[in-house]
């Protein structure tokens, strides 16, 4: 495959977005096509779960988050070509650090603010709104 | 040779192999293997450029995480105003999602065509990418316009402030990406597939795919969870 020949030389690091260095048997376009199929499937599943009653109500947010994480993984592997191979160590480590910061910011904010709301407001939100009217 | 290398020897090694010296050469046969683990000297420029741009993208995603955190905290602070369930039109969001996903795919096809040095094919796929991105931005601007017309602008409630900040920031990224796309098409057309142009195209591809990743988080957390919950 032409892309592979260009990228391999005496250096075998890979930039993000490089095609797979290992001989996976797929051409570049097939990799994008497979990624597109998986992403479309996961997107359709997300919209279907949100709009139907097939999933137990309280389980819908968990199902949607799981589908989103799966789709982000598909995008990373098939579109951005971030893999677990040795030539991708630097890219994967940077990604792991980014994910850690994102989780700290989002989960930390939600966690702290939920506790703050719990401690600061003896009344539930809807009662408070009724009182204002 | 037992004496220390003279400064000119050091300089010669530096010029030939970069600041990290001869690198990993266990058998002394002159084969240098760079594995990106600090030994073997600097990696090729396109790997360094791609890695640097990957770091930028991750920092951009960290910036978005702040907007996501603000939205998650303020999603129920509607101040008696309209909620997401009343405002969001999931059909339009589905079309937006389809546009962005398809544009991510055509963007990848354009890059593959560029690595094969096919000018017309590259320009065609990049044009399709740009048009799909334009449809996305137009749909989003329409959504914002209708919401503001209904009195549900960013000044209505903390929920809507966070919504417009988060979704608007993503839309701004797509708009800037579209301008970058047009620039890249012109550069490829007039300057050809030169190495530095190919590096810029690699960075543009990474940027466009990263925008799609942010949109996946966005349509799940803002629209699907907001319209259902």
Query: Which of A14, A16, A47, A131 is the best mutation test for B, with the most CBs of B within 10 A?
Result: A16
Residues B83 and B32 placed together within one structural domain of the fold: no
Per-residue model confidence (pLDDT) at position B205: 95
- Per-residue pLDDT tens digits of chain B, which is 229 residues long: 444 556 565 555 555 554 444 444 444 444 455 555 556 677 888 889 999 999 999 999 999 999 999 999 999 888 888 988 899 999 999 999 999 999 999 999 999 999 999 999 999 999 999 999 999 999 999 999 999 999 999 999 999 999 999 999 999 999 999 999 999 999 999 999 999 999 999 999 999 999 999 999 999 999 999 886 5
Long-range contacts, stretch A81-86, CB < 8 angstroms, 24+ apart: A81/A14, A81/A16, A81/A17, A81/A18, A81/A19, A81/A20, A81/A31, A82/A16, A83/A20, A85/A14, A85/A20, A85/A21, A85/A22, A86/B35
Mean pLDDT for chain A? Answer: 80
Contact A132, B94 (CB under 8 A): no
- Asked if B52 reaches chain A (Cβ–Cβ under 8 Å), the answer is no
Per-residue model confidence (pLDDT) at position B176: 97
> How many CB atoms within 10 Å of residue B16?
10
Q: What is the pTM of this model?
A: 0.81
Q: For the segment A95-115, what is each residue's pLDDT rounded down to a tens digit?
A: 999 999 999 999 999 999 988
Residues B78 and B148 placed together within one structural domain of the fold: yes
Residues B156 and B89 placed together within one structural domain of the fold: yes
Interface of B with A in 117-146 (CB under 8 A): none
Per-residue model confidence (pLDDT) at position A2: 38
Query: Which of B30, B112, B205, B208 is the best mutation test for A, with the most CBs of A within 10 A?
Result: B112
Residues B108 and B168 placed together within one structural domain of the fold: yes
Residues B111 and B188 placed together within one structural domain of the fold: yes
Chain B: nearest CA to A48, how far in angstroms? 10
Asked if residue A8 has pLDDT above 50, the reply is no
Residues B23 and B102 placed together within one structural domain of the fold: no
CA separation for the pair A36, A16 (Å, rounded): 18
Interface of A with B in 11-70 (CB under 8 A): 11-18, 28-29, 32-33, 35-36, 39-40, 43, 46-47, 49-51, 60-61, 64-65, 67-68
A120 confidence band (pLDDT: 50, 70, 90): confident
Q: How many CB pairs under 8 A join A and B?
A: 162
With beta carbons under 8 A apart, name residues in chain B contacting A36: 101-102, 104-105
- Asked if A130 reaches chain B (Cβ–Cβ under 8 Å), the answer is no
Q: Least CB-CB distance to B202: which of A17, A101, A110?
A: A17
CA separation for the pair B129, B180 (Å, rounded): 12
Nearest residue on chain A to B34, judged by CA atoms? A11
Contact B46, B195 (CB under 8 A): yes
Residues B142 and B178 placed together within one structural domain of the fold: yes
- List the one residue out of B100, B157, B161 whose CA is nearest residue B131: B100
Q: A126 is in which domain, residue-wise?
A: 2-132
Contact A79, A35 (CB under 8 A): yes
Asked if residue A73 has pLDDT above 90, the reply is yes
Asked if residue A39 has pLDDT above 60, the reply is yes
State the total domains in chain B.
2
State the total domains in chain A.
1
3-class SS letters over chain B: CCCCCCHHHHHHHHHHHCCCCCCCCCCCCCCCCECCCCCCCCCCHHHHHHHHHHHHHHHHHHHHHHHHHHHHHHCCCCCCCCCHHHHCCHHHHHHHHHHHHHHHHHHHHHHHHHHCCCHHHHHHHHHHHHHHHHHHHHHHHHHHHHHHHCCCCCCCCHHHHHHHHHHHHHHHHHHHHHHHHHHHHHHHHHHCCCHHHHHHHHHHHHHHHHHHHHHHHHHHHHHHHHHHC
Q: Least CB-CB distance to B213: which of A15, A75, A108?
A: A75
Residues B71 and B20 placed together within one structural domain of the fold: no
Per-residue model confidence (pLDDT) at position B60: 97
With beta carbons under 8 A apart, name residues in chain A contacting B31: 10
3-class SS letters over chain A: CHHHHHHCCCECCCCCCCCCCCCCCCCHHHHHHHHHHHHHHHHHHHHHHHHCCCCCHHHHHHHHHHHHHHHHHHHHHHHCCCCCCHHHHHHHHHHHHHHHHHHHHHHHHHHHHHHHHHHHCCCCHHHHHHHHC
With beta carbons under 8 A apart, name residues in chain A contacting B158: none
Per-residue model confidence (pLDDT) at position A7: 43
More confident residue, A85 or A22: A85
Residues B152 and B201 placed together within one structural domain of the fold: yes
Residues B5 and B49 placed together within one structural domain of the fold: no
Residues B112 and B213 placed together within one structural domain of the fold: yes
- State the ipTM, two decimals: 0.79
Share of chain A above pLDDT 70, in %: 74
B112·A51 Cβ contact <8 A:
no
Q: B135 is in which domain, residue-wise?
A: 45-228
A4 confidence band (pLDDT: 50, 70, 90): very low
B111·A65 Cβ contact <8 A:
no
Provide CB contacts within 8 A for A14, sequence distance 6+: A7, A21, A81, A85, A87, A88, A91, B47
Per-residue model confidence (pLDDT) at position B28: 46
Provide CB contacts within 8 A for A57, sequence distance 6+: none
Residues B1 and B107 placed together within one structural domain of the fold: no
Asked if residue A54 has pLDDT above 90, the reply is no
């Amino acid at each position: 495959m032409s892309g592979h020949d260009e990228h391999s030389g005496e250096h075998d690091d890979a930039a993000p977005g490089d095609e797979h260095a290992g001989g996976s048997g797929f051409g570049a376009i097939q990799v994008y096509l497979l990624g597109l199929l998986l992403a479309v499937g996961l997107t359709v599943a997300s919209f279907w779960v949100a709009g139907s009653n097939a999933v137990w109500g309280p389980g819908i947010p968990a199902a949607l988050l799981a589908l989103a994480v799966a789709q982000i993984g598909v995008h990373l592997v098939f579109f951005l070509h971030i893999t677990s191979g040795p030539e991708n160590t630097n890219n994967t480590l940077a990604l792991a650090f980014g994910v850690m910061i994102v989780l700290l910011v989002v989960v930390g904010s939600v966690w702290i603010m939920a506790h703050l709301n719990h401690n600061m407001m003896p009344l539930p939100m809807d009662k408070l709104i009724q009182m204002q009217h | 040779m037992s004496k220390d290398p003279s400064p000119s020897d050091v300089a010669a090694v530096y010029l030939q192999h970069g600041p990290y010296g001869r690198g990993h050469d266990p058998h002394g046969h002159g084969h240098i293997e760079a594995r990106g683990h600090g030994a073997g000297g600097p990696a090729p420029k396109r790997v360094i450029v791609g890695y640097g741009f990957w770091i930028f993208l991750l920092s951009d995603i960290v910036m978005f995480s702040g907007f996501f955190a603000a939205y998650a905290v303020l999603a129920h602070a509607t101040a008696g105003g309209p909620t997401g369930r009343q405002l969001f039109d999931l059909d339009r969001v589905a079309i937006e999602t389809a546009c962005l996903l398809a544009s991510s795919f055509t963007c990848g096809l354009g890059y593959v065509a560029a690595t094969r040095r096919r000018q017309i094919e590259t320009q065609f796929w990049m044009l399709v990418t740009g048009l799909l991105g334009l449809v996305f931005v137009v749909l989003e601007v329409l959504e914002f316009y209708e919401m503001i017309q209904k009195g549900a602008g960013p000044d209505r409630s903390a929920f809507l402030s966070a919504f417009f900040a988060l979704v608007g920031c993503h839309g701004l990224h797509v708009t800037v990406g579209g301008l970058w796309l047009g620039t890249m098409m012109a550069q490829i057309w007039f300057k050809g597939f030169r190495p530095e142009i190919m590096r810029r195209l690699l960075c543009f591809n990474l940027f466009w795919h990263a925008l799609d990743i942010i949109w996946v988080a966005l349509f799940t957390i803002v629209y699907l969870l907001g319209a259902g919950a």
